[in-house]
Amino acid sequence: MTGRPEITVVAAPGGDAAAPEGLARLLADYHLRTEAEKGAAVPGVADLPERYRAEVLDTAAAFAGHTVLVARSAGAAVGCLVLTAPHAGGSEIKRLWVDPAGRGRGVASALVGAALARAAAAGTGTVRLSVWAWRTTAIGLYRRLGFTVVGSWDDRDGLVCMERVAGRPPRPGS
């Protein structure tokens, strides 16, 4: 027994009128931290670029057709992930975020594992993601979970693009 609260992952199909409790806060934290890391810190949600502000203020519209996963621990939302609807045989992981106070407890692994399982169950061939190069801990996690670096599909500087087969377990020792 570790004494840590259990992590559960709940899913809400995008477009669900009732976004999971805590999702907007997690997305706000994600976007505010990302903007700061890019050197464009803003004081609050109202100052985020429009597309990111829209995700925080109306998650149902922003993620319509996609699956939103929220990790909960002791009743509180501690992490989130968006899995895009399958398109051309693949899906994409977006907005993976774990509250800093909840890190190191397997939350990100649980969210990615749940996303991969959903993608495989939907018949998705590959799952891809992009991550900022400075997020080395996240890149390490993705590698351990079987993702490999691939050529970029995004022209923004500093992004690392990765993918893996949805239904294949990670290679031992990766």
Q: DSSP secondary structure string, the chain?
A: ---PPPEEEEEEETT-SSPPTTHHHHHHHHHHHHHHHTT---SSGGGS-HHHHHHHH-HHHHTTTSEEEEEEETTEEEEEEEEPPPBTTEEEEEEEEE-GGGTTSSHHHHHHHHHHHHHHHTT--EEEEEEETT-HHHHHHHHHTT-EEE--S--STTEEEEEEETTSPPPTT-
Q: Which tens digit of pLDDT belongs to each residue from 43-66?
A: 999 999 999 999 999 988 899 889
Sequence ranges of the domains in the chain: 7-128
Q: Which tens digit of pLDDT belongs to each residue from 90-128?
A: 999 999 999 998 899 999 999 999 999 999 998 898 999
Model-level pTM?
0.88
Arithmetic mean of pLDDT, 161-168? 88
The CATH code for residues 7-128 is: 3.40.630.30
